[in-house]
Amino acid sequence: MKKHVVIVGVLVMLGLFGLVLPGLSQEIRESRLDTILAKGTINIGILQSFPPMGFFNSAGEPDGFDADISLELAKALGVKVKWVPLVDLASVSATLITNKTDVNISNLTRTLERAKTVDFTDPYIVTGLAVLARVDANIRKIPEDLAGKNVGVPKGTIGDVIFDEEIPEGKKLAFDTVADTLLALKQGKVIALLEDMTFCQLQVKENPGLLEVTGGLVTVDANSFAIARGQPEWRHYLNMFIDTLVIKGKYDEIYKKWFGPEAEPVKLLAAYLVP
């Protein structure tokens, strides 16, 4: 009798495993990391026109901080890169949901709202929002000097989301793209714009005497790689890649290339905390 009970118990357990294991094996078969390694190519989404982070240069080739980080990722994986241009923030999530990209390295700030749609790695760069203003506007105090003034933001960006909280008396004008917002600033349609500090610093360099960064950082933001939800193995690999890039010194090398030899990254990335 006991023997029969044991046999029945084993059969029940095997039946249960039969119900569970197919799902597990399917998940293993569909591992994004395994798929990338098997096909020898990784699809990486990069911003189309957001220097110095990500952009396509005059030769039509991807360039910038994010492009260099992406090439290091492909090198670590031992695969080739297929570049996918990201026109705006909407395309960041859309390309992941539709599996057009494996990862988007696009200076994207992690937020709880965005995490409802896509997943994020650990931060790979810590930056923040700054005010880029026309020199002739004489903006010195933020937000006081922006009260009643037209200030531009690209639609859907962190600047767009937090504008009313940070610049409550300013008049927000939202534009479709970063390029449109910058053009409005140069044309005098707005006296300032709210964008990532790295972008603002580059615009000052390229437009001496016309534009300036003023008032210090409005926010401090942790920006991450974005991936489709439900891929813990792939996210873990990417986190290890970021840590390794920092520990081996390659991250600092790329950072100084794009932000200047004296520039120092904010030491808030996980790998900087390793003794």
| pLDDT digits 0-9 by tens, 175-200 | 999 999 999 999 999 999 999 888 89
Query: Tens digit of pLDDT for each residue in 103-140?
Result: 999 989 888 999 999 999 999 998 889 999 999 999 99
Amino acid in the structure at residue 213: V
Average pLDDT over the chain reads: 86
pTM of the model: 0.74
pLDDT-based confidence at 20, cuts 50/70/90? Answer: very low
Query: Tens digit of pLDDT for each residue in 89-102?
Result: 778 889 999 999 99
**Fold match between domain 34-126+223-266 and domain 129-214:** yes
Going along 7-117, which residue ranges are E strands?
41-47, 49-50, 54-56, 62-63, 80-86, 103-109
Amino acid in the structure at residue 208: P
Q: Which CATH architecture has domain 129-214?
A: 3-Layer(aba) Sandwich (3.40)
pLDDT-based confidence at 274, cuts 50/70/90? Answer: low
Give CA–CA dist 42/72, Å, rounded: 12
Residue spans per domain, the chain = 34-126+223-266, 129-214
pLDDT recorded at residue 208: 87
pLDDT recorded at residue 269: 56
| Cβ–Cβ < 8 Å for 241, 75 | no
Amino acid in the structure at residue 72: E
Token reading at 62 = 């991807």
pLDDT-based confidence at 202, cuts 50/70/90? Answer: confident
Q: Give Cα separations from 183 to 73, 152, 154, 188, 203 (angstroms).
A: 34, 10, 11, 9, 11
Query: Tens digit of pLDDT for each residue in 208-232?
Result: 899 999 988 898 888 999 999 999 9
pLDDT recorded at residue 263: 73
Mean pLDDT, to the nearest integer, of 155-159?
A: 91
C-beta atoms surrounding 221 within 10 Å: 21
Of 48, 175, 47, which is closest to residue 107 (Cα–Cα)? 47
| Distance, C-alpha 106 to centroid of its chain | 4
pLDDT-based confidence at 88, cuts 50/70/90? Answer: confident
pLDDT tops 50 at residue 21: no
Mean pLDDT, to the nearest integer, of 62-73?
A: 97
Q: Which fold has domain 34-126+223-266?
A: D-Maltodextrin-Binding Protein; domain 2 (3.40.190)
Run of H or E including 122: strand 119-127
pLDDT recorded at residue 26: 43
